[in-house]
Amino acid sequence: MVPVSYYLILSAILFSIGVGAFLIKRNIITIFMSIELMLNAVNLSFVAFANYWNQINHQFSGQIFVFFVMVVAAAEAAVGLAIIIALFRTRKTLNVDQVDLMKL
Amino acid sequence: MNGIPNLHLWLLPILPLAGFLVNGLFGRRLPKALVTAVAIIATAIPLIQVATIVARFSSLTLPHVERVATWISAGPFHAGFTFQLDQLTMVMLCVITGVGFLIHVYSIGYMAHEDGYWRYFAYLNLFMFFMLTLVLANNFLLLFIGWEGVGLASYLLIGFYVLKTSAADAGKKAFIYNRVGDFGFLLAMFLMVQHFGTLDYTQVFAQIIAHPAWQGGFLTAIGLLLLLGATGKSAQIPLYVWLPDAMEGPTPVSALIHAATMVTAGVYMVARAHVIFDRSALALGLVAVIGTATAFFAATMAVAQNDIKRVLAYSTVSQLGYMFLGCGVAAYGAGVFHLVSHAFFKALLFLAAGSVIHALSGEQDMRYMGGLRKKIPITFWTMTAAVFAISGFPPLSGFVSKDEILYEAFISPGGKILWFVGLFTAGLTAFYMFRLWYMTFFGKDRTADSEIMAHAKEHGHGHGIHESPWVMLIPLIILAILSVIGGWMGWPAGLGGNEWFTRFLAPVFNTAGLSMNPNVIHAPAGAGSDHLQLILAIVSTLTAAGGWYIAHLMYYARPELPELLAQKFRGVYRMLFNKYWVDEFYGAVIAAPVLFFSRFVLNFLIDRGVIDGAGFTAGATAQGFGSLVARIQSGNIRSYAGWLAFGAMLVLVVTYFVFTGSFMLH
Amino acid sequence: MNGSMTVLRILPEIIFTLTGVAIMLIDPVMPKQASRKPLGWLAAFGALAALIASLYQYSLPVGTAYFGVVQTDAFSVFFHVLISGIILVSALVVLDAVHPDTESLGELFALMSFGAVGMLLMTSGVELLLVFIGLEISSISTYILAGFRRKTAKSPESALKYFLLGSFATAFFLYGIALTYGATGTTRITDIAAGLATSHALPIAVVGLAFIVIGLAFKVSAAPFHLWTPDVYEGAPSPIVGLMSTAPKAAAFAVLLRIAYEAFPQLQNHWMPLLWILAAVSMTIGNLGALRQKNVKRMLAYSSIAHAGYLLVAFTVLSTDGVAAASFYAVAYAVMNVGIFAVISHAGGYEDRLTLIEDYKGLAYRSPLLGGVMAFFLLSLIGIPFTGGFFGKFYVFAAAIHSGMIWLAIIGLLNSGIAVFYYLRVLTATYTKPMDSSPVLNVPRVSAPLCLAMALTVAVTLVLGIIPGRVLSMARHAAETFPVFSTQQTPVPGTASAVMAAINTKAR
């Protein structure tokens, strides 16, 4: 059986990739996807922990958490995409570096 | 009710507040006469009430405490809307309501033609409200509220002439320097809460008196912080610079707030908290040193000023220094005595100066005055009384109170130097006051050179030089009488008096704790004698006469002398004229670095710093130098996210160090 | 427990939900040209009803409902009242500031109500899952509200920045929850403390706590997680900024308080230094940043960062006073900030006619009422006595010094000295005579809802400054709901209070 720590390390790596992609990528949609990656990394942790605690004291609320996170992520995506469209209409760009009208 | 009479002390501050509310909310629409009536009644009734309290004062058990309302009783501190009346408060009440009423009356004439008449009286009443709260408070928190409130009223009144940028700037300056002082006051209060668990005067002082072992230590810290607060409000070194600029406000305001009452709040506070200062030789000694130094330096600066109000402003700073000196040698009674007599003659000086300015259609530069003695005789004679009083000629009030301070300084251990500087300053005081006197009232009439007057004439609202209306002159006359006879209530024993005033205040200052500290520079019993007092009085009178003589020589007998001296001692003159460049120094040392850091925070930390700080962002993309520069733009989401990530890393690092136990704040 | 009681525990949330749904249902059936302002009044009345319901909740016994995920106690009700009040005033301010024919106005009011539901759930949730959902409901609503003027260039940009960075921070928050769950086996705030006591994976819990703090620090815009604040405030419609600079922050502070004191009391030696640093940095960066701003909304954004710092000072106190001071300050700050944004929304309008401090020159001459109220709130923000701002600060710093945080208090007091500069700049501009071309000459007449909003905020600010006793005792009562501080009952072994007692004895 794969130990729980493996999942956690994978989850941490995925989360870090998400953070890194957020910082590096320029396309707003890609940045948005990197947030999804971060959320899913967290979900992996939740599932792994839920499995671990299930064996100890039958506490698996982590799995329920995952469902809600998925729902919330979907809602967030809907709103996020709407905002991106509104922005694209006024700016005609999806390059995040050009969205810097307000500064200092 | 248990034999304790109800004096309704709450009425004292509440009436001016009501006046403020009525005039502030509806004044714009009310006729001028009604605005005047509201403002005057709101100060006259408290004056009458104070008079009735004085009449029955001897029958009261002191301190007389009246609880108005429970305010806060939660958390680490308790405070109530509770007023306290004792001898010290009584004295302050008389000064505030008395001088305050006279200046309200004077303002009717002085401000008659100004825009915003209602606004002026609303602010003035607001000031009275806070000032009365300040002296009536029985705990430091309520005192602080009055303290901040008078600062607010002063800010509003200094900036009263909103069209003048200099007035707005001066208001801001006063506000900000006072905040520096308030910082000290607040910290002192927090320390008191921490150590005593209360801010009530009686409880705090009782605790200190009950612990004779408390010497120095945290009491020194509290004392020094209170002193910082006092230097802000009472314009002492290092925070005095706001007061001369505050002269941008209307002249009656200068008289009431920046001479007679508000600026003396620091002296009042030190006297009120004397139990704390008595236990700290360092804090009390510093009060004396700061007072003496301020008295001296402000007097030297007054010598080189040409604006009549600025001369008086520096003179106020200097006289406040004397009061601090008095408190600093533990002669609190003498300090408060000088506070009272100063309130009379300095209010008079300002009001008389206002009358002069009024007569000259707004000219304030003494170089364009001269020869006014005959044209405005009543102003001249009242001003003369004040000049002689402040210069310290017997038997006027300034002589009595200043001499008592100098005498107390002389007999206090190690106080000879303080006495000497104080004496020399007295000579300077006489010099610059008579300089003002001669330049304004004697010599050649130079008003023809005044651009301001010429300008006023051109626009048709100028009028010849004229005496002020009676509504302004009567307060002048009353204050002149008080300046002459006001000192007699504390006539020194050495000159055959009975020092009634100091003995009246003695119950406040002779608390049980006072005699317990051998370190404090109290005068040892029997150090002075009536004989010594007489000699010192003669010495200081001669010094004042010397100052007068030099002023006479330079500004009357040989008017070409000042120019010659200024040429000869060019460096010294420029230094005095530029007020030792203290403003410039503060600007460079305090304001500039703050602004620099602000720019640093905005430009560097947010924009460039993020790329540097989260270096991996730039490195990982390997987009070349050009795009790096392009990304040094602000407003960039990714750079913000970089900061977020950087912050997250920081948080993790801190957490790690905390976890390993190598990071502790306690 | 009977069923009616269960419903009562989420009564304000239900009222807000029904209000929002009603607005969404009525909006499409209204004639196209008809003014949507009645919907705003509906939202305001909904908020008023929720406020009354929240006050009513004080009479409920402390307890949980819905499988123990929501808890009504003095703490959550305290914040319920605050947030409902903010929504009420904000609805009035929006009513005053918008044109009747503003695009999709109905949705704006509905989103305000829905957002409020999220914020209320955050304060009463004792299950991290519910807190997370509440946080997302409130965040998503505010993302949309920030971008509501979607035809302009700035508003969608502000929404995008808020959305991307907000989601980024939420991911950290969520990761923190996951790690906490991993270390303790529970996501219930009330059980975490007990779980920690037996946990074998304390380092994971510590990292989890750190991530939770990061996520919440973003929401309250504490430095260095504050960068979004000025940009978002500048671009978002002014009436909305008044709302989103206060209510979601109050809710996030409530969550932070609950998590710190109820879930992680044993780790106070870990989060206290962390919050110490955040407080010091926030105060300093906020005030220094505000000094040089020309745009009023950006200046107030930096000022809100500084105020978050002052509030965080209270967190380091680690006693009932600390929690009470934080709660009290949250109220004081929220009221004065909503108040000043009421003035700015009216003068500047939904369309941001006035942006720079310069533009406010002469406001007091154009409208003495607006000028006076503006001056009043600026003085309160400075911290002048007789206003809530003064007393809030006083309480926070007094508590901080009382618990030995002298340096932090000194940093805070120095900072509040710096703050005087920039507030006075606005105040001076307000009372400078306007020029003939001044934009303030177009300030519309003050309307009834604005009068009501200003009267409410001014009155509450004065009450907080002059007779704070009642609110103070409510705040202290709220603080005492945390088991760490409850002194009445003897600690039950294994619970947080038992752990705290052990820690305290060890410390001695």
Instruction: Say how many C-beta atoms besides its own lie within 10 A of residue B209's C-beta.
Output: 17
Size of interface A-B (CB pairs under 8 A): 46
Q: Which residues of C touch A (CB under 8 A)?
A: 129, 132-133, 136, 140, 143-144, 147, 150-154, 156-161, 163-164, 167-168, 171, 174-175, 177-179, 181-182, 185-187, 230-231, 234-235
Is there a contact between C76 and C482 (Cβ–Cβ < 8 Å)? no
Q: Give the pLDDT of residue C399.
A: 86
Q: Give the pLDDT of residue B92.
A: 92
Chain B: residue nearest C433 by CA?
Answer: B163
3-state secondary structure of C319: coil
Domain count, chain A: 1
Please tell me the distance from the alpha carbon of residue C164 to that of residue C437, in angstroms, as a whole number: 40
Asked if C42 has any chain B CB less than 8 Å from its own CB, the reply is no
Domain count, chain C: 1
Burial-class residue B573 by CB neighbours within 10 Å (0-12, 13-18, 19+): middle
Please tell me the distance from the alpha carbon of residue C496 to that of residue C190, in angstroms, as a whole number: 8
Q: How many Cα atoms occupy the beta-carbon half-sphere of B378 within 13 Å?
A: 19
Instruction: Report H helices in B459-600.
Output: 470-485, 500-509, 530-552, 561-568, 570-577, 582-586, 592-599
Which of A35, A42, A61 is nearest residue C175 as measured by Cβ atoms?
A42
Please tell me the distance from the alpha carbon of residue C508 to that of residue C503, in angstroms, as a whole number: 9
The radius of gyration of chain C's CA atoms, rounded to the nearest angstrom, is 22
Determine, for residues B193 and C401 on separate chains, whether the beta-carbon distance falls below 8 Å: yes
Please tell me the distance from the alpha carbon of residue B299 to that of residue B576, in angstroms, as a whole number: 10
Residue to substitute from A87, A89, A94, interface C, most C β-carbons within 10 A: A87
Residue A55 in domain: yes
Chain A residues lying within 8 Å of C158, measured CB to CB = 102
Q: Give the pLDDT of residue B619.
A: 36
The radius of gyration of chain B's CA atoms, rounded to the nearest angstrom, is 28
3-state secondary structure of B60: coil
Residue A85 in domain: yes
C-alpha angle B217/B222/B225, rounded to 5°?
125
Q: Name which of C133, C84, C79 is nearest C112 in CA terms.
A: C84
Asked if A85 has any chain B CB less than 8 Å from its own CB, the reply is no
Chain C: residue nearest B78 by CA?
Answer: C469
Q: What are phi and psi of B393, to 5 degrees?
A: -95, 130
Is there a contact between B17 and B129 (Cβ–Cβ < 8 Å)? yes
pLDDT band at C167 (very low <50, low <70, confident <90, very high): very high
Is cis: bond before B238, omega within 30 of 0?
yes
3-state secondary structure of B468: coil
Lowest-confidence segment of B325-339, C323-337, C387-401, C490-504 by average pLDDT = C490-504
Q: Give the pLDDT of residue C492.
A: 44
Chain A residues lying within 8 Å of C301, measured CB to CB = none
3-state secondary structure of A99: coil
Please tell me the distance from the alpha carbon of residue B117 to that of residue B43, in angstroms, as a whole number: 17
Please tell me the distance from the alpha carbon of residue B503 to that of residue C274, in angstroms, as a whole number: 57
Instruction: Say how many C-beta atoms besides its own lie within 10 A of residue B377's C-beta.
Output: 12
Asked if B660 has any chain C CB less than 8 Å from its own CB, the reply is no
Average pLDDT over residues C64-71: 89
Average pLDDT over residues C296-319: 92
pLDDT band at A104 (very low <50, low <70, confident <90, very high): low
At position C451, the amino acid (one-letter code) is: C
Q: Give the pLDDT of residue A39.
A: 95
Determine, for residues A101 and C157 on separate chains, whether the beta-carbon distance falls below 8 Å: yes
User: B139 - beta bridge partners?
Assistant: B200
Instruction: Say how many C-beta atoms besides its own lie within 10 A of residue B169's C-beta.
Output: 15
Burial A20-40 (b: 16+ CB within 10 A, else e): bbbbbbbebeebbbbbbbbbb
Taking CA atoms, B69 is separated from B53, B80, B82, B118, C74, in Å, by: 21, 6, 7, 31, 26
Asked if B599 has any chain C CB less than 8 Å from its own CB, the reply is yes
Chain A residues lying within 8 Å of C186, measured CB to CB = 59, 61
Q: What are phi and psi of B613, to 5 degrees?
A: -65, -50
Residue A104 in domain: no
Residue B334 contacts by C-beta under 8 Å, 6 or more apart in sequence?
B326, B401, B404, B405, B408, B502
CB interface of C with B, residues 139-168, below 8 Å: 160-161, 164-165, 168
Lowest-confidence segment of B190-194, C10-14, C43-47 by average pLDDT = B190-194
Please tell me the distance from the alpha carbon of residue B23 to that of residue B617, in angstroms, as a whole number: 62
Chain B: residue nearest C479 by CA?
Answer: B75
Stronger pLDDT, C135 or C288, i.e. the higher one: C135
Burial B431-464 (b: 16+ CB within 10 A, else e): bbbbbbbbbbbbbeebbeebebbeebeeeeebee
Reported as a single tens digit per residue, the pLDDT across C406-417 is: 888 888 888 888
Residue ranges making up the domain that contains C352:
2-507
Instruction: Say how many C-beta atoms besides its own lie within 10 A of residue B51's C-beta.
Output: 12
Q: Give the pLDDT of residue B644.
A: 82
Residue A21 in domain: yes
Q: Give the pLDDT of residue A101.
A: 76
- Tokens 């500069």 sit at which residue? C421
Q: Give the pLDDT of residue B528.
A: 62
Q: What is the CATH number of the domain that holds A60?
A: 1.10.287.3510
User: B438 - beta bridge partners?
Assistant: none
Nearest CA-CA distance, residue A58 and chain B, Å: 30
Chain B residues lying within 8 Å of C302, measured CB to CB = none
Please tell me the distance from the alpha carbon of residue B435 to that of residue B438, in angstroms, as a whole number: 5
Q: With a cut of 90, say whether residue C129 has pLDDT above it.
A: yes
Chain A: residue nearest B634 by CA?
Answer: A103
User: C188 - beta bridge partners?
Assistant: C127
Q: Name which of A73, B663, A66, A4 is nearest C204 in CA terms.
A: A4
Reported as a single tens digit per residue, the pLDDT across B544-602 is: 999 999 888 888 888 787 778 888 878 877 887 777 777 777 777 776 777 777 666 66
Q: Which run of H or E residues covers position C301? A: helix C296-315
Q: What is the value of ipTM here, to two decimals?
A: 0.95
Reported as a single tens digit per residue, the pLDDT across C334-367 is: 999 999 999 999 998 888 888 888 888 888 888 8
Asked if A102 has any chain C CB less than 8 Å from its own CB, the reply is yes
Q: Give the pLDDT of residue C237.
A: 92
pLDDT < 50 regions, chain B: 1, 512-522, 605-634, 665-666
The radius of gyration of chain A's CA atoms, rounded to the nearest angstrom, is 17
Reported as a single tens digit per residue, the pLDDT across C200-248 is: 888 899 999 999 999 999 999 998 888 889 889 999 999 999 999 999 9
3-state secondary structure of B273: coil
CB interface of A with B, residues 26-65, below 8 Å: 26, 31
Please tell me the distance from the alpha carbon of residue C138 to that of residue C79, in angstroms, as a whole number: 15
Q: Chain centroid to CA A25: how far? A: 15
Residue ranges making up the domain that contains A90:
4-98
- Tokens 């154009």 sit at which residue? C366
Residue A18 in domain: yes
Q: Give the pLDDT of residue C13.
A: 95
pLDDT band at C197 (very low <50, low <70, confident <90, very high): confident
Residue-wise DSSP of B285-301:
HHHHHHHHHHHHHHHHH
Q: Name which of B439, B239, B201, B206 is nearest B321 in CA terms.
A: B239
Nearest CA-CA distance, residue A96 and chain B, Å: 7
Q: Give the pLDDT of residue C243.
A: 95
Is cis: bond before B63, omega within 30 of 0?
yes
Please tell me the distance from the alpha carbon of residue C5 to that of residue C9, in angstroms, as a whole number: 7
Written as six digits, the tokens of B415 are 């106080």
Q: With a cut of 70, say whether residue C288 has pLDDT above it.
A: yes
Chain C residues lying within 8 Å of B644, measured CB to CB = 165, 168-169, 218, 224-225, 227
Determine, for residues A24 and B620 on separate chains, whether the beta-carbon distance falls below 8 Å: yes
